[in-house]
Amino acid sequence: MTDPEGQTSTERPVFTVEPWCVREPELRLDRLAQSESVFALSNGHLGLRGNLDEGEPHGLPGTYLNSFYEQRPLPQAETAYGYPESGQTVINVTNGKVIRLLVDDEPLDVRYGRVHHHERILDMRAGTLTRHVEWTSPADQRIRVTSTRMVSLTQRAVAAICYDVEPVHQSMRVVAQSELVANEALPDGDKDPRASAILDHPLISEEHVANGTKVLLLHRTRQSGLRMAAGMSHHIEGPESMAVETESSPDVGRLTVATRLEPGQRLRIIKYLAYGWSSQRSRPALHDQVVGALAGARQTGWDGLLAEQRHFLDDFWCGADVEVDGDAEIQQAVRFGLFHTLQAGARAERRMIPAKGLTGPGYDGHTFWDTETFVLPVLTYTAPDAAADALAWRHMTLPLACERAAQLGLTGAAFPWRTIRGHECSGYWPAGTAAFHINADISDAVVRYVDATQDERFEREIGLEILVQTARLWRSLGHHDVGGVFRIDGVTGPDEYSAVVDNNVYTNLMARRNLLEAAETAMRHPDMCDRLGVDAEEAASWRDAASAMVIPYDERLGVHPQSENFTNHARWDFASTKPDHYPLLLNFPYFDLYRKQVVKQADLVLALHLCGEEFTDEQKARNFEYYEGLTVRDSSLSAQTQAVVAAEVGHLELAHDYLGETSLMDLHDLNRNTRDGLHVASMAGAWSGLVAGFGGMRAGGGRLRFAPRLPGGISRLAFRMRYRGSRVRVEVTGESATYELLDGPAITLWHHGEEFELGDEPVELPIEQVAARPAPTQPAGREPAPRRIDPHSREPRPVDS
State the pLDDT at residue 675: 96
569 and 595 Cβ atoms separated by less than 8 Å: yes
**191, burial (CB in 10 Å: exposed 0-12, middle 13-18, buried 19+):** exposed
Burial grade of 268 (CB within 10 A; 0-12, 13-18, 19 or more) = middle
Distance, in Å, from the CA atom of 388 to the CA atom of 454, rounded to the nearest integer, reads 12
Number of other residues whose CB lies within 10 A of the CB of residue 749: 21
Q: How high is the pLDDT of residue 645?
A: 98
Q: What is the pLDDT of residue 4?
A: 34
CA-to-CA dists, residue 672 to 6, 230, 276, angstroms: 11, 33, 33
DSSP 3-state helix, strand, coil percentages of the chain (rounded to 5)?
A: 35, 25, 40
pLDDT in tens, 522-537: 999 999 999 999 999 9
Strands annotated E in 579-710: 596-597, 698-700, 703-706
- Beta pairing partners, 703: 700
Q: Is 407 annotated as a binding residue?
A: no
pLDDT at position 199, please?
73
Do the beta carbons of residue 245 and residue 92 sit within 8 Å?
no
Q: H or E element: which one contains 653?
A: helix 652-663
Q: How far is CA 344 from CA 44, 367, 800, in A?
A: 5, 11, 31
Q: What are phi and psi of 569, to 5 degrees?
A: -70, 155
Measured CA to CA, the distance from residue 430 to residue 493 in angstroms comes to: 10
Which residues touch 116 (CB under 8 Å, ≥6 apart)?
134, 135, 136, 142
Alpha helices in 319-356 (DSSP H): 328-345
Measured CA to CA, the distance from residue 657 to residue 322 in angstroms comes to 18
Degrees to nearest 5, angle at CA 417 with 391 and 277: 55
C-alpha 780: how far from chain center: 30
pLDDT recorded at residue 523: 95
Residue 24 is a catalytic residue: no
Task: Report whether 315 belongs to an annotated binding site.
Answer: no
Ordered domains of the chain (ranges, CATH): 16-307 (2.70.98.40)
Q: Cα dihedral sign for 608, 611, 612, 618?
A: negative
Helix (H) or strand (E) holding 246: strand 243-248
- Angstrom distance (rounded) from CA 160 to CA 173: 25
CA distance 223 to 71: 6
CA atoms within 13 A on the CB side of 132: 9
The model scores a pTM over 0.85: yes
Of 36, 54, 496, 538, which is the active-site residue? 496
CB 449 within 8 A of CB 384: yes
> Does 369 appear as a known binding residue?
yes
- Under DSSP, the state recorded for 740 is E
Provide the pLDDT for residue 452.
98
Q: 94-125 burial, b for 16+ CB within 10 Å, e for fewer?
A: bbbbbbbbbbeebebbbeebebeebbbbbbbb
Residue 380 phi/psi, 5-degree rounding, is -60, -40
Over the chain (801 residues), the average pLDDT of each successive run of 10 is: 37 92 97 98 98 96 97 73 81 98 96 97 98 97 98 98 96 97 82 53 96 97 96 97 96 98 97 96 96 98 98 98 98 98 95 97 95 98 98 98 95 96 82 89 98 98 98 98 96 95 98 98 94 96 98 98 98 96 94 96 98 98 98 97 98 97 97 96 98 98 97 97 98 97 98 97 94 89 85 37 26
> How far is CA 208 from its chain centroid?
34
Distance CA(271)–CA(674), nearest Å, equals 29
H helical segments located in 397-525: 398-407, 437-453, 456-458, 464-477, 505-524
Amino acid symbol at 178? S
Q: Report which secondary-structure segment, H or E, holds 382.
A: helix 376-382
Q: Residue 472, by phi and psi: left (phi above 0), alpha (psi -120 to 50) or beta?
A: alpha
Residue 619, marked binder: no
C-alpha span between 355 and 360 (Å, rounded): 10
Per-residue pLDDT at 772: 77
Condensed to tens digits (0 to 9), the pLDDT of residues 164-173 reads 999 999 999 9
Contact partners, residue 475, CB within 8 Å, separation at least 6: 411, 412, 515, 541, 542, 545
Q: For position 189, what pLDDT does the model report? A: 59
